[in-house]
Structure 1
Amino acid sequence: MKIYETRQAPNPRRLRIFLAEKGIDLADFEIEQLDLAAGDNLSETFKTKNPMGGVPVLEFDDGHCLSESMAICRYFEATHPDPPLMGDSAESQAMIEMWNRRMELHLLLPVAMAFRHTTGHFSDREAVFPDYGADRAKTATKMFDFLDRHLADESHIAGDDYTVADITALAAIDFARVIDLRIGDRPHLAAWYERVSARPSAKA
């Protein structure tokens, strides 16, 4: 199998952390790095693998491809169920899905939009709206505050156990440095961040 990714991007990092937690060695895959700034992901060749142009993409040995980071993670959750990172019961699966979606929609996506619209990093291929970017940065900041309150009573994002929701939050918070957003004086969020960052998978 082959993985197409971009080392600095948050979604490929989510997949790398997920695989590391599963004990799946990246050395078992052929890895191709794409330069998003240069538009590698917009080539006609790559779009036959993912017409949406995003990374990561998992290419199976027969040539068909799976894209969207959480879809790829679900594949590996099913093929390597231990340790469970997406829940092991109907209730836990639903709870983790809820929290992971919150991390995607209210943290990772706002950070990504703030980056794209305040820096103009992809202004050669998309319209840029700085005011929208600034608004998304405010939304991400509010989510930092929310998580600090939430983690006062929880050891992890979705409860007692480390899950894919923690992976999404970690990738988003680390990527938020590109918009100069830091944890700062948020002690509960900082304590959680220290715990999850100390896991070997965080270095993946």
Structure 2
Amino acid sequence: MKLYTFEMAPNPRRVGLFVKHKGIDLATETVDLTTKAQFDPAFKAINPRCTVPALQLDDGTVLADVIAICTYLDSLYPDKPLMGTTPLEKAQIAGWCHRLYVEGLMGVADVLRNTGDMFKDRALPGDVLIEQIPALVDRGMKRIDGFYQAMNQEVEGREFLVGDSLSQADIDLYVCLGFTQWVKRDVPDTCPALQGWRASMAERLE
């Protein structure tokens, strides 16, 4: 297997922290998004969606979604399970990962991809040219504010989002909070529970 990645970007980071926590030894290749290497013909032949992470299996099959990659690797390497051990945990973790992607990562992406030259005509991932919509920057900032407040309530008095052990849901929330710093935002002092939770996760994951 080979993992195509760009470690600092949020979706590759979700997988990177998963792999690190489980102690999986994977061959990796960096696809430098800053030079638009995701659009190189060689990588496009591997993942026509031009996104990372992408996990190419030994038979040539490619998994190009974080949840697909993590679910597959969690089944192959069951030690330190991160995708749940019971039907309820599996459902809750999948639900959290979806919620955090939609409410957290996409809120930041609204801001990041709709301003500046780096994402000019690349307002959405992939190979289709999509123009920026400046009005989405303000909406994204409001989404980030709402996300902080909602997550502060969710982690109040809780060590983990699901059950009594670390899961991919925790990794995804931790990555979301780091991603907000890309648009010069950080967890505000009005969210002390979330600040404390993030500090605790940093000790576990970094």
TM-score by length of 2: 0.89
- 1:155 equivalent in alignment to 2:152: no
1:80 maps to which of 77, 81, 97: 77
Q: Is the 8 A contact 1:115 1:121 kept in 2?
A: no
CA shift for structure 1 position 159 = 4.0
- Name the SS for the 1:37 alignment partner: helix
Task: Map 1:6-85 onto structure 2 (within 5 A).
Answer: 6-25=6-25, 28-29=26-27, 31-85=28-82
Q: Is the 8 A contact 1:5 1:34 kept in 2?
A: yes
Change (3 A) 1:120 1:169: farther
Percentage identity across aligned positions? 32
| Distance across 2 between alignment mates of 1:17 and 1:150 | 22
Q: Is the 8 A contact 2:89 2:163 kept in 1?
A: no
| Distance across 2 between alignment mates of 1:156 and 1:89 | 16
| Distance across 2 between alignment mates of 1:157 and 1:119 | 35
Corresponding position of 2:3: 3
| Distance across 2 between alignment mates of 1:66 and 1:187 | 37
- 1:111 equivalent in alignment to 2:115: no
Amino acid paired to 2:7: R
Amino acid paired to 2:119: F
Q: Which has the higher contact order (CA 8 A, sep 6+)?
A: 1
Instruction: Report Cα offsets for 1:72-105 as digits up to 9, x if no partner.
Output: 1111110011211111111111111111111111
Q: Is the 8 A contact 1:120 1:128 kept in 2?
A: no
CA shift for structure 1 position 53 = 0.9
Amino acid paired to 1:153: G
CA shift for structure 1 position 120 = 4.2
1:187 maps to which of 172, 183, 192: 192
- Name the SS for the 1:48 alignment partner: helix
Amino acid paired to 1:39: K
TM-score by length of 1: 0.90
Q: Is the 8 A contact 1:141 1:181 kept in 2?
A: no
1:144 maps to which of 132, 148, 156: 148
| Distance across 1 between alignment mates of 2:135 and 2:164 | 38
Q: Is the 8 A contact 1:49 1:64 kept in 2?
A: no
CA shift for structure 1 position 113 = 2.4
Amino acid paired to 1:40: A
Amino acid paired to 1:116: R
CA shift for structure 1 position 16 = 0.8
| Distance across 2 between alignment mates of 1:134 and 1:119 | 14
Instruction: Report Cα offsets for 1:6-59 as digits up to 9, x if no partner.
Output: 12201111111001111113xx41x22112132211122212211111101112
Count of residues in Structure 1 that have an aligned counterpart in Structure 2: 198
| Structure 1 residues without counterparts, runs of 5 or longer | none
Moved segments of 4+, more than 6 Å: none
| Structure 2 residues without counterparts, runs of 5 or longer | 123-129
